[in-house]
Amino acid sequence: MTTKSIRLGELVDRFGGQLIGSPDLSVTGIAPLSDADASQLTFLSNSKLKQQAASTKAAALIVTEADYEHVRSSYQGACIIFANPYVYFARTAQLFAELNKIPAVTGIHPTAWVSPAAVVHASASIGPHVSIEAEAVIGEHAVLEAGVVIGRGVEIGAHTLIHANATVYDYCVIGTHGIIHSGAVIGADGFGFANEKGRWIKIPQTGRVVIGNDVEIGANTSIDRGALADTIIEDGVKLDNQIQIGHNCHIGAHTAMAGCVGVAGSAKIGKHCTFGGAAMVLGHLTIVDNVHISSGSMVSRSILEPGQYTGFYPLAKNADWEKSAVIVRNLPSMREKVRELEKTIKVLADKS
Task: Give the N- to C-terminal CA distance of the chain in Å, as an integer.
Answer: 91
As a whole number of angstroms, the distance between CA 245 and CA 220 comes to 12
Give me the phi and psi of 96, to 5 degrees please.
Answer: -65, -40
As a whole number of angstroms, the distance between CA 108 and CA 29 comes to 33
| 247 a catalytic residue | yes
Amino acid of residue 294: S
- Rg of the chain on CA atoms, in Å: 27
* Catalytic residue of the set 159, 181, 247, 250: 247
Give me the phi and psi of 190, to 5 degrees please.
Answer: -70, 165
As a whole number of angstroms, the distance between CA 244 and CA 7 comes to 43
Beta bridge partners of 256: 238, 274
As a whole number of angstroms, the distance between CA 331 and CA 46 comes to 42
Catalytic residues: 247
